[in-house]
Amino acid sequence: MCGTCGCDSDTRVVKLERDLTAKNDAIAKRNREWLATRKTSVVNLIGAPGAGKTALLEATIRKVGSELDLAVLEGDQATDRDAERIRRAGCKVMQINTGTGCHLDASMVAAGLEELAPAPSSVVFVENVGNLVCPALFDLGERAKVVVMSVTEGDDKPLKYPHVFRAADLFVMTKIDLATHVDFDIDRCIRNARIVHPELEVIRVSARDGDGMESWAGWIRRIA
């Protein structure tokens, strides 16, 4: 109970959150319908800062860019550095800066898609703001959510951030070329992820060495 006006402040916060979620979900539904008419698939990449999302995209462009129409929406709080990396890799890209915001939402993606104007039958990757919490809660109208996590992070992370692993359609474990140099148990991490999401598909990749990239490319081809 609020001591100033006698209102139930907790109830007001919950109602506001529900209203915001409902508004976002309505826009996400419109995004999904628009994308369906263009036979375009959106893949929402969610991961902590430093997980290797941009490096994975650069390697993906090199791997399948000649056979699939690809485009990228880059989400960051500030700068267009990652967008420049994607542009240099040879892919159409648009930067979305959120300022203090910790995630992209459906309205940002709707505006981004309008300006990006992806080709019909293309695959659009959304590199979400580096965060394992808020991005998992917001539907963007995507075809699939992919959680990206590197071996330089703790192998207990799926247990510490269960919602994003539970919401994900795929877990891409990155930087596996570093696995022997860090205190990280790959098998334990996968077991932890499957405690949260028993059916979760896992692909291990190294953007640097190319290990696992064919499995990742095959997954992209299936959802394209």
Q: CA separation (Å) from 200 to 193, 204, 208? A: 7, 13, 25
Count structural domains, the chain: 1
Would the pLDDT of 13 be above 60?
A: no
* C-alpha distance across the termini of the chain, in Å: 50
- Residue reference for tokens 């247990």: 159
Q: According to the model, what pLDDT value does residue 218 have? A: 98
SS3 48: coil
**Which CATH number fits the domain that encloses residue 37?**
3.40.50.300
Cα torsion 117, 120, 125, 128: sign? positive
Confidence (pLDDT) at 143: 98
Asked whether residue 193 is assigned to any structural domain, the reply reads: yes
| Position 1 confidence tier, pLDDT thresholds 50, 70, 90 | very low
55: in domain: yes
Query: According to the model, what pLDDT value does residue 78 have?
Result: 98
Closest CA to 118 of 213, 217, 62, 43: 43
**Residue span of the structural domain in which 58 resides:** 9-223
Residue 2: pLDDT band by 50, 70, 90 thresholds?
very low
Domain contains 203: yes
The fraction of the chain above a pLDDT of 90, given in percent, is 91
> Once rounded to an integer, what is the mean pLDDT over residues 195-215?
98
- 102 vs 132: CA distance, rounded Å: 10
Query: Who wins on pLDDT, 9 or 129?
Result: 129
pLDDT for residue 10 = 67
For residue 162, what pLDDT band results from cuts at 50, 70 and 90? very high
- Count Cβ neighbours within 10 Å for each residue of 30-51 and write b for 16 or more, e otherwise: ebbeebeeeebbbbbbbbbeeb
Work out whether the CA dihedral 154, 164, 59, 51 comes out positive or negative.
negative
Over 80: is that where the pLDDT of 214 sits?
yes
Q: The whole model's pTM is what?
A: 0.92
* pLDDT, the chain, mean: 94
Write the DSSP assignment of 67-112 as a string of letters.
TS-EEEEEEESS-SHHHHHHHHTT-EEEEEE-TT-SS--HHHHHHH
Mean per-residue pLDDT for 122-127? 98
The whole-angstrom distance between residue 206's C-alpha and the CA centroid of its chain comes to 18
Residues forming beta bridges with residue 125, ordered by sequence position: 43, 72
Residues 126/104, Cβ–Cβ less than 8 Å: yes
pLDDT band, residue 19 (cuts 50/70/90): confident
Q: What is the pLDDT of residues 53-106, one digit of tens each?
A: 999 999 999 999 999 999 999 999 999 999 999 999 999 999 999 999 999 999
Q: Residue 131 falls within a domain, yes or no?
A: yes
| 23-51 pLDDT tens trace | 999 999 999 999 999 999 999 999 999 99
Count of all residues that appear for the chain in the document: 224
- Does some domain include residue 4? no
Q: Tell me the two tokens of residue 216.
A: 């990742």
